[in-house]
Amino acid sequence: MTLGNMVPFGTHHSRPLTLRHFGDLSSEMDRLFDGFLADRQVGKGLNVALDIGETEKSYLIHAEVPGLDEKNIHLELNDGILELSGAFDKQEEAEGESWHKRERRTGSFTRRLKLPEDADTKKVNAILKNGVLEVEIEKSKAKKDANRTIKIKTS
């Protein structure tokens, strides 16, 4: 045991903050908000960026899906879980083409969001506009439906 450990409250509390402390803070914030629009990415697929927000009357989810059309996106509600999935097509090389670098993504993705208790699953609208899927779920006191597929419209 060192002398520093014997000092009441220790002197280790006066050390400067490190990046580890910010990671701990981030983890605590994530834990605090777990359950409310909790997001679960499934498997090792692509990560699709989401913005999640709300207004007084509804919840808003915006998903970045550039280059996809509504046929390649699936949106479904099951037991209070909103599941967004889809696939970016593989880029085929034409005969005689040789690419030096490929940065556009290919493959599938799945994201699941646990909806809050006051989400009205009967009033869900989804619209695909300029590579962004905009989902709006109205708030209500009514109980959630068990399962449902949501039709995606184009602008």
Query: 37-89+108-155 maps to which CATH number?
Result: 2.60.40.790
- Between 3-17, 25-39, 55-69, 88-102, the lowest mean confidence (pLDDT) is in 3-17
pTM of the model: 0.62
Predicted pLDDT of residue 142: 54
Domain spans of the chain, in order of start: 37-89+108-155
C-alpha dist (Å) from residue 29 to 10, 19, 124: 27, 15, 28
Report the candidate in 86, 43, 80, 35 with the shortest Cα–Cα distance to residue 64: 86
Rounded distance between C-alpha atoms, residue 148 and residue 77, angstroms: 5
